[in-house]
Structure 1
Amino acid sequence: MTDTAGNRSGFRIRESFSGRTAFILVAIGSAVGLGNIWRFPYVTYENGGGAFLIPYLIALLTAGLPILLFDYAMGYKFRGSPPLAFKRMHPSAEAVGWFQVGICFLIAIYYAAIVAWAAMYTWFSLTQAWGEDAEGFFFAEFLQYDGGGAEGAGISVDFVAQVGWPLIVVWVLLLAALATGVRKGLTAISLIGMPVLFLMFAVLVGYSLTLEGATTGLNALFTPDWGALTDATVWIQAYGQIFFSLSVGFGIMITYASYLRRKSNATGSGLVVGFANSSFEVLAAIGVFSALGFLAVAAGTAVDEVASSGLGLAFVAFPTIISEAPASALLGVLFFGSLTLAGITSLISILEVVVSAVKDKTGWSRPVSVAAAGLPAALISVVLIGGVSGVTILDVVDAFSNNVGIVLGAFASVVLATWVYRKLDVLRAALNAYGSLTLGPVWKTLIGVVLPLVLGVLLVLDIRDKILEGYGGFDTWVLATFGWGSLALMIVVSVGLSLMPWSESSAMHMEDPDRDEAGKETV
């Protein structure tokens, strides 16, 4: 079988992982991120406690694992980053791939800042630099946040040194790691980082369980509210949590699966990644609510008065816990060190999607592609998020890129593959060829019927809420610029890039998706 250029000359082998273990660790590193630690515990607590685990498990089996395997199939079969994979599926689908790349670009811009904050707080933990007012220290002293974007306040990009310089360091290390390649960069970091992360977090959870009040926190978390199972909102939250926690729908797993060797057990790997991610979430919930229980008992309040998620949990509630707890420096280093490691492994996977897409389209070397993709992202990140209004921009971009952008990209991909281009049988056959789990009609039904319904509901509800209620109390112009505007820009850029011709030295012409690492035909 000839390559897409019509000849075999200049045939080039795609980068690949050294083996299945490397792929699994990298994929888990991508899936296990900040959301596992600071989002899942609170979502569980707010949606029925222990009873929430039932819709959560059902969502994992009926939506999370199916779309994870769908992403694997796209990358594994068509051997490319999202734009290349979608174009090989059908020439008119390339723009969907570029939209997913654009969402990764947006997320990387602010995600790097959170990693930098977590790294700084690892250092702050040694002396409890936040003092007795963790909230005031975080927003006023550390971030120097000016409240821009709310109640008529303007947006400022005045540089904040203690935020901007650590952010620059994160970007330098990130780009250096990506430039070294799939095996030396991505794999090496995960082979070291993931075992360290799990060890640190296991110690953190074990320590949290010894704190006075840990039982109070766990009772608040896991005491089941069976009545919640009749609430449709709880089920929507379960599907939303599974979807966002697995790093699916925005190109990461497509890109990583494209680096799998031929004759790989992709379905077996998917099961390992999916259940490992959910196991870490439950472990995180135990650790977080044990610590929140300690804080509630120490303050003489109920758990619901100290429970929170997101930035409030990480940079306000936990510093307060650390200040009150015995061996406080150890607890702080374990918690913020875990956040930093989880953030780094996820951030690398997010930007790798952009790098891989640029490299595939242009045929440039990896270092040049990293510079072309990473330097603009780094510059925008430092200017916008490293300024005094950085929290506003971060919050808005996060809300729109995650809750609207990712869901929209995933919805478009499953609908096109199922109902427009009719490629589910092709994708299923690719996974079944060497997979330990055989996919059949049930998987096709979940991808073609259940997932479009779930994703469609999530998308419509979130867009409706943002249109009718706004978001976060921010001015309309802020939402229009950094929220709706950023998504609209990604759509325009995606269509434009899809109309550009592929370079003669690009992966489209120089890599044959039907040949293995030895250059032998596989189809």
Structure 2
Amino acid sequence: MSKIPAPPASSKKSKVVGGNINNDNNIASTFNNFNTGFLKLPDEQSSHRRLLADELKTNGRRRNNSSSPSPDINNADEDDEDAEEEEDEIGDLRVGKLRTNGNRLMFNNNNSNSLRPNLLEEGENGLTNGCSSDMMDISDDDGREGWDNKMQFFMGVISYAVGFGNVWRFPFLLQKNGGGAFLIPYLIMMVIEGVPLFLIELGIGQKLRTGPVGVWNAIHPYLGGVGVSAVIVSYLVSLYYNVILTWVFYYLFKSFSFELPWINCPKLANGSNITECVESSTPANYFWNREAINTSETIGDFGGFTWHMTFCLVFAWFVIYLCVMRGIKSSGKVMYLTATFPYFVLTAFMFRSILLPGATDGLRYMLTPDLSRLWEPDVWLDAATQIFYSMGLGFGGLIAFASYNPVKNNCKRDVLKMSLANLLTSLYTAFVIFCVLGYMGRKNFNSCIEKDMSLILKVAPKLYKNMEEINGNITLEEFTFYLQTDFRDSKFSEIINHPSYKKCELGDIISEAAEGTGLAFVVFTEAISQFPFPPFWAILFFLMLMMLGLGSMFGTLEGVITSLNDAKMIKLSQPMLSLLICASSCLIGLVFTTQAGQYWVSMFDHFAGTYALMCVAFFEVVAVIYVYGCDNFVRDLQYMCDEQIGNFWKITWRFISPVIMFVIFVASIFKSFTKVPEYSAYHASTTHQHLEPYPTWAFFIAFGMY
């Protein structure tokens, strides 16, 4: 009979039942009845299993037919030798290592880190059948690099999850969806959707210790597409996400000057101001649209490269390459800075902005709940969608980070801590942002009122001779009251009906400035120009954005690089593979540095990271809970975390989370087809943004990213 090769020596051995000869047949029977486990064994592994079972049965019969050994003082030693022999016989299946065969993950018998339950271990109730994950023989001696310590992992995940979305998307959703009322659906969705999926990604990555592609391929070969989809989404998102980081670098470089370039309008050679800047809402708005990105008026009008942005893009990818070229050994050190520095800057801005006039107006607008909005489906859809961006779910970065953890690590506790930290960060950021928005809103509101007051001189010149006389007879508050209370019989009725009249609403003015890139590169830069010594605050602000962008890019690219490394699809060293990915991304990203680049960033943000992301997350839950099995996964977590997994997790995984994600996906698709997608285009003639529908050719590119 063929000899089953023995495994290499391992420093970590489970207690194997083998001291009693009569147990051999039970062992083989138990082994043959093994139907569950983390991985479905390939055909050659099944043959190996049957061969082992036959070997054990034959050995059992041979030993039972032999004469009983005479009592001897060396009997115990012989029993020990038998136990070691049995250990050798089962070693090949107990110690496996993932390898790739085409697109399918297999096992090499040269690794002590088993990805399946140990088949012949002795538990509290005797011999186990391999179904209980808390009896698994799992070690970390697989040659895979790991985090230096637990804090480095924590900082890495926080740095990855907390990004640009926490700075401008969350505050925008707050003001859009009823202020403080939005926190109710956001918290509910976080508990029943975000946190459970967070634990699935960390748990599955920590258990299998491989990248996003290898994880799903290991559960079932047909699920490999889930990992591939996650890698593609991560790659597409990294293309445009790094362009935002490019803009940050440009503004950071421009901040190193005694006078910020966006404070005043530039002048022509004859000393006069540029007309477009004068007619623009603010010099900061002109600087963004004309000096920084030099935007065109349509998405199809590329207009050539904006060269200073092209150089900044190359520089941004070079910085990222230096940080990821050696995996977590290089990026892990940087993450201490990218995770903590933004909090110091936010705290500095908090103390400064809370003292600004109008800060309380912004906070009041942020926290005042409009509970009637809770009946609108879009509010719940926005809350559920924001969870994906805020926690970094579905990209594969969390799986990649968790794969560098030791197997015996309480990932459940990690999930709860990091989810709470992410929530508090979003609220803290929104607090600071709305203080600044309140200040800018009050400033623009007063300016709006003064423009309306100047109408009195045109409409009713006999009432007042000049603005000083108006200000002496009526205050801004009184004037606002009369305008907002439409007295048709009063002298103010003519002003209200005048075509130049603009109704001034503080809430509307605040809400107009609370969305997207305009918040960071227009509104915040304008607010900073009102601070004492503006360059100092500008440098701090853009350094904070730089750290947020770098941290998120590390996690996004880690999912891509780890997957390619683990699958051995491209046989290159870590530095060369990182160089290939960064260089190719930089070349493709050149389209974002054209004059139409802003519109392409908007299109990628809307299509590349929305629908595909939700689809990936849905199939992740289905793969783990319904293909692998919820009970098996719970046992794995209990083994790794050394604590019980309650019914809350099982119910949300089995029913609530998949239903919610399916509803979100269907609702998002339905919403996109019932309304023609549009983008915000800048028109130089009016110096304002206008919504334009995407051209037909852009639809094919956009839907190709679904």
Identify the residue that residue 597 of structure 2 maps to in structure 1. 390
Contact 1:45 1:220 in 2 (8 A): yes
Q: Which runs of structure 2 are paired with 1:179-194 in the superposition (5 Å)?
A: 179-183=325-329, 185-194=330-339
Contact 2:146 2:405 in 1 (8 A): yes
Task: Note the C-alpha offset of 1:189.
Answer: 0.8
CA displacement, residues 253-277 of structure 1 (integer Å, 9 cap, x when unaligned): 1111111112111111111111111
Q: 1:369 aligns with which of 574, 577, 583?
A: 577
Task: Note the C-alpha offset of 1:436.
Answer: 6.7
Q: Secondary structure at the match of 2:610?
A: helix
Moved over 4 A (4+): 9-12
Contact 2:243 2:313 in 1 (8 A): yes
Contact 1:306 1:317 in 2 (8 A): no
Q: Which runs of structure 2 are paired with 1:188-203 in the superposition (5 Å)?
A: 188-203=333-348
Identify the residue that residue 2 of structure 1 maps to in structure 2. 95
Q: 2:669 aligns with which of 463, 466, 481?
A: 463
Contact 2:409 2:641 in 1 (8 A): yes
Q: Which runs of structure 2 are paired with 1:223-302 in the superposition (5 Å)?
A: 223-299=368-444, 300=446, 302=506
Residues 145 and 422 of structure 1: CA distance in aligned 2, closer, same or farther (over 3 Å):
same
Task: Note the C-alpha offset of 1:478.
Answer: 4.4
Q: 1:477 aligns with which of 668, 684, 696?
A: 696
Contact 1:267 1:437 in 2 (8 A): no
Contact 2:95 2:111 in 1 (8 A): no
Structure 1: which amino acid aligns with 2:95?
Answer: T
Identify the residue that residue 615 of structure 2 maps to in structure 1. 408
Identify the residue that residue 223 of structure 2 maps to in structure 1. 93
Identify the residue that residue 129 of structure 1 maps to in structure 2. 261
Residues 447 and 478 of structure 1: CA distance in aligned 2, closer, same or farther (over 3 Å):
farther
Contact 2:216 2:226 in 1 (8 A): yes
Residues 255 and 327 of structure 1: CA distance in aligned 2, closer, same or farther (over 3 Å):
same
Residues 193 and 44 of structure 1: CA distance in aligned 2, closer, same or farther (over 3 Å):
same
- Number of aligned residue pairs: 480
Structure 2: which amino acid aligns with 1:471?
Answer: P
Higher RCO (C-alpha 8 Å, min separation 6): 1
Q: Secondary structure at the match of 1:129?
A: coil
Identify the range of structure 1 (275-284 vs 222-231) with the bigger mean alpha-carbon deviation.
Answer: 222-231
Residues 188 and 6 of structure 1: CA distance in aligned 2, closer, same or farther (over 3 Å):
closer
Which runs of 5 or more residues in structure 2 are unaligned? 1-93, 97-105, 113-140, 265-282, 447-503, 679-691
Q: Does 1:316 find its partner at 2:522? A: yes
Task: Note the C-alpha offset of 1:442.
Answer: 2.0
Contact 2:625 2:633 in 1 (8 A): no
Q: Secondary structure at the match of 2:107?
A: coil
Percent identical pairs in the alignment equals 27
Residues 241 and 475 of structure 1: CA distance in aligned 2, closer, same or farther (over 3 Å):
closer
Identify the residue that residue 176 of structure 1 maps to in structure 2. 322
TM-score scaled to structure 2, two decimals? 0.65
Contact 1:47 1:234 in 2 (8 A): yes
Task: Note the C-alpha offset of 1:40.
Answer: 0.7
Residues 265 and 481 of structure 1: CA distance in aligned 2, closer, same or farther (over 3 Å):
same
Which runs of 5 or more residues in structure 1 are unaligned? 488-523
CA distance in 1, matches of 2:519, 2:603: 18
Residues 9 and 29 of structure 1: CA distance in aligned 2, closer, same or farther (over 3 Å):
closer
Could you say what the CA RMSD is over the residues aligned between the two structures, in angstroms? 2.0
Q: 1:350 aligns with which of 541, 556, 559?
A: 556
Residues 165 and 462 of structure 1: CA distance in aligned 2, closer, same or farther (over 3 Å):
same
Q: 2:238 aligns with which of 108, 115, 137?
A: 108
Contact 2:211 2:399 in 1 (8 A): yes
Identify the range of structure 1 (15-24 vs 125-134) with the bigger mean alpha-carbon deviation.
Answer: 125-134
CA distance in 1, matches of 2:289, 2:701: 21
CA distance in 2, matches of 1:202, 1:364: 43
CA distance in 2, matches of 1:321, 1:468: 38
Identify the range of structure 1 (287-296 vs 222-231) with the bigger mean alpha-carbon deviation.
Answer: 222-231
Task: Note the C-alpha offset of 1:469.
Answer: 2.0
CA distance in 2, matches of 1:424, 1:168: 46
Q: Secondary structure at the match of 2:187?
A: helix
Identify the residue that residue 170 of structure 2 maps to in structure 1. 40
CA distance in 2, matches of 1:327, 1:440: 54
Contact 1:147 1:392 in 2 (8 A): no
Q: Does 1:117 find its partner at 2:247? A: yes
Q: Secondary structure at the match of 1:453?
A: helix
CA distance in 2, matches of 1:328, 1:304: 27
Contact 1:63 1:243 in 2 (8 A): no
Q: 2:288 aligns with which of 135, 138, 143?
A: 138
Contact 2:189 2:383 in 1 (8 A): yes
